Amino acid sequence: MPLATLRGARLGYGAHVVLERVDLALDAGAPVGLFGPNGGGKSTLLRALLGLLKPLAGDAHATRGAGYVPQRVADDPLIPVTCAEWIRAGARRRRAPVAELAARVGLGACLDTSLYALSGGEQRRAFLAHALAGEPAWIALDEPTAGVDAREVERLVALLADLGAKGTTLVFVTHDTELAALAERALWVADGRVSEIAPAEARRRLAVRPR
Amino acid sequence: MIDLASLWELFRHSIAALLVVGAGMPILGVFLFVRRAGFHGIVLPQCATTGLAVGYWVLPAWAGWAWRDGPSLRELLADPHHLEGYLQAWALAGALVGAALTHVARRTRGAEAAWLAALFAASIGATMALRSRLPHAGEAIDAVLGGEVILIDAHGLAIVSIAVVVAAAAVLAARRLLVVAVVSPELARLEGRRASLAELSVTLATTLVIGVGVSIVGPYAAFSSLVIAPLAARRFVRSFRAFLWLSSALGALAAIVGVVLAFGPLDLPLGPAVVLGATLSLAPYLVPRRG
């Protein structure tokens, strides 16, 4: 059974239609990349696949238990949260292997650090560990490398490659060619349509297109 | 000099009730604080107080019907223990109406603060208007407003303790989902029904404890515990767990300072004295942070 499906879906917000007639089935296994120009509807498609956005028309089905690393991560220090608390908050079980998960994403030394004191890349990894704590069926990442320095991108890509190799299904939105290299299935989202293209073609388009 | 032993001997139920409220309500205040609903910590106790005033207004008619063969109105008012359950029900009703209206105000988005301020003004106006029209209950309402809690007995202490423990337990049980809802509302939406249920149960528990708490210790102790203690604690903590415990400790400390101020040479009304005690904990904000 697919992890998520969209059938004849019209996606948008109120009167503003972003994508038309989307037919898509997301299967477990191969990493999927959503590519395209800014404002093309990649994040909208990802949110629909997660079940966070109901289609304006057509059908959508999303299995429960997806993990999610949103594009906008913690930037409001109203609530004090340590890295360990944030990872634990993602767990479905009472006793989550917090230290193990933190170590897995390279944050083993930051357990007691405030979530807001982490760099952008470290926050992305903390969100990834939060998602992993929930033992997700698949993980969606919305531009996980945006605003992150080159070293952190390298680290994040290696981490995601490792997760993919160990059987976690990844679906990500990105403009980053390094991360795009992980995709074994590529969807081009532009001009109100979603089309499936070869991953190599997606990387080529990313390399030549302005963002 | 205050003889603390004698004070405890004479007013142990009242002091214990203040400590329970002082230590327990800040845990609910943390919930309001992180949801940017700190003003609810002022509005809801005030609405509960209005509920109490309405209860006193209705009392003559209610007493004539419900206690036809029982104590007279004068006797009922002379011994407030007769009216404990009745007044708690009215305070709770006031808090529930307030919670419903604050929920409506929350949906107005940009105008929420103005609506809450208007609700607070309307509620305090209604309370004072009712108080002026109730010669039989003026003193009793003044005692509630002043937080004069010297008449609390073991039963009152038990009621407020149960309410506070139940509400604090609801917050602690739901804290994981609350953290997610505050840090990333989108992730909370992914959690779906469970996050909404957690939020609803904590909101109801908070309303319950405000309703019961105000009828027993008055609105001022509730204000300070719900609003000031979490604000003071936030400066010193970086984990949510520490936030909960430090808020609770500061709330309890404010209650102790309030008792000392009230029963000491200053002889202040207890409710405002607790607020002043809590306000002292905000002093570190006057010191600029380094770096």
State residue B83's pLDDT score.
81
Phi-psi region of B290 (alpha: psi -120 to 50; beta: other; left: phi over 0): beta
Helix, strand, coil shares, percent, chain B, to 5: 85, 0, 15
- pLDDT higher than 70, residue A27: yes
- The answer to whether A51 faces chain B, any CB pair under 8 Å, is yes
| A137-181 pLDDT tens trace | 899 999 998 888 888 899 899 999 999 998 899 999 999 989 999
Helix, strand, coil shares, percent, chain A, to 5: 35, 25, 40
CA distances from A72 to A54, A147, B78, B110 (A): 20, 11, 60, 22
Cβ distance of B183 and A52 shorter than 8 Å: no
Q: What is the DSSP string of B1-38?
A: ---HHHHHHHHHHHHHHHHHHHHHHHHHHHHHHHTT-T
Contacts A–B by Cβ distance under 8 A: 64
- Confidence (pTM): 0.85
- The answer to whether B185 faces chain A, any CB pair under 8 Å, is no
Residue B212 CA to its chain's centroid (Å): 8
- The answer to whether B189 faces chain A, any CB pair under 8 Å, is yes
Among B8-17, B128-137, B193-202, which stretch is predicted with the lowest mean pLDDT?
B193-202
Partner residue opposite A79 with nearest CB, options B176, B183, B192: B183
State residue B80's pLDDT score.
67
Which residue is closest to A93 within chain B, CA to CA? B176
Partner residue opposite B182 with nearest CB, options A73, A78, A112: A78
Cβ distance of A52 and B34 shorter than 8 Å: no
Residue B166 CA to its chain's centroid (Å): 14
Distance CA A143, CA B131 (A): 60
Partner residue opposite B239 with nearest CB, options A70, A78, A81: A81
Q: What is the DSSP string of A23-40?
A: EEEE-SSS-EEEE-STTS
DSSP strand pairing (A193-197 vs A185-190)? antiparallel
Mutate to test the interface with B, among A71, A81, A82, A138 (most CBs of B within 10 A): A81
- pLDDT higher than 70, residue B290: no
State residue A96's pLDDT score.
81
- pLDDT higher than 90, residue B25: yes
Long-range CB pairs of B266-270 (<8 Å, 24+ gap) are B269/B146, B269/B147, B269/B148, B270/B18, B270/B146, B270/B147, B270/B148, B270/B149, B270/B150, B270/B218, B270/B221
Partner residue opposite A85 with nearest CB, options B33, B234, B239: B239
| B268-279 pLDDT tens trace | 888 888 899 899
Distance CA A124, CA B135 (A): 64
State residue B149's pLDDT score.
66
Q: What confidence tier does B1 reach under pLDDT thresholds 50, 70, 90?
A: low
- The answer to whether A167 faces chain B, any CB pair under 8 Å, is no
Cβ distance of A78 and B34 shorter than 8 Å: yes
Share of chain B above pLDDT 70, in %: 96
Partner residue opposite B238 with nearest CB, options A64, A89, A114: A114
Q: What is the mean pLDDT of residues B137-162?
A: 82
Cβ distance of B240 and A80 shorter than 8 Å: yes
Residues of chain B in contact with residue A88, where contact means CB-CB under 8 angstroms, are 176
Q: What confidence tier does B9 reach under pLDDT thresholds 50, 70, 90?
A: confident
Residues of chain A in contact with residue B242, where contact means CB-CB under 8 angstroms, are 80
Distance CA A125, CA A136 (A): 15
What would you report as the CA-atom Rg of chain B, rounded to the nearest whole angstrom?
19
State residue B174's pLDDT score.
84
Residue B248 CA to its chain's centroid (Å): 14
- The answer to whether B235 faces chain A, any CB pair under 8 Å, is no
Distance CA A52, CA B74 (A): 60
- pLDDT higher than 60, residue A210: no
Residues of chain A in contact with residue B192, where contact means CB-CB under 8 angstroms, are 64
